[in-house]
Amino acid sequence: MRYVEEMESGLIVHLSASTYLSRDTLSKKVITSVEKTIELGADWVNVHINVGSKNDIEQIKEVLRMAEIFDSYGIPLLVMSYPRGAGMNSVLKRLSLQSESQTNWVPTRSWLREGSKDRTSLK
């Protein structure tokens, strides 16, 4: 049963949420099922992740899983990805300074985690 029978505009369903009352306020969780989203008649879905949070890898894995599922139904998925978490300001500042001095430098994951100034990942 569809909740909305007729609509002049498309329905976008936001899949993720978090709360400031939890221990990890940056942890976004998917709060609805694919089945419920389809039952609602979603034309589009979106999800929010925080790269740099304590569980960013789990959030990214969840987004990849959702992308495959919604792609199989032909429903577009928009990912809203934000740099958040302890230390992200300093990482972003270093990246900004690096990009000003050398535009073809690409940070490696270890550089981001350890804060290394090693530029071994040049293109």
Residue 30 domain boundaries? 1-85
Beta strands in the chain (DSSP E): 12-14, 16-17, 29-30, 44-51, 77-83
Give the other-Cβ count within 10 Å of 82's Cβ: 14
Please tell me whether residues 76 and 91 are part of one structural domain: no
Question: Which residues lie below 8 Å from residue 2, measured CB to CB, with a gap of 6+?
Answer: 39, 40, 41
Please tell me whether residues 34 and 4 are part of one structural domain: yes
Please tell me whether residues 68 and 118 are part of one structural domain: no
Instruction: Calculate the average pLDDT of the chain.
Output: 77
Give the other-Cβ count within 10 Å of 33's Cβ: 11
Q: Which of 36-50, 90-104, 108-122 has the lowest mean pLDDT?
A: 108-122
**Amino acid identity, position 93:** K
For 2-27, the pLDDT digits (tens) are 555 666 778 899 999 888 888 888 88
Residue 49: closest CA among 18, 86, 95: 18
Please tell me whether residues 95 and 37 are part of one structural domain: no
Which residue in the block uniquely carries the two structure tokens 């429903």?
75
CA-to-CA dists, residue 49 to 2, 3, 10, 28, 35, angstroms = 28, 27, 23, 6, 21
Please tell me whether residues 8 and 52 are part of one structural domain: yes
* Percentage, residues of the chain above pLDDT 90: 26
For 48-72, the pLDDT digits (tens) are 988 888 888 899 999 999 999 999 9
Instruction: Tell me what pLDDT residue 114 has.
Output: 53
Residue 50: closest CA among 22, 19, 87, 84: 84
Residue 120 above 50 pLDDT?
A: no
Q: How many domains does the chain have?
A: 2
Please tell me whether residues 77 and 110 are part of one structural domain: no
- pTM for this structure? 0.63
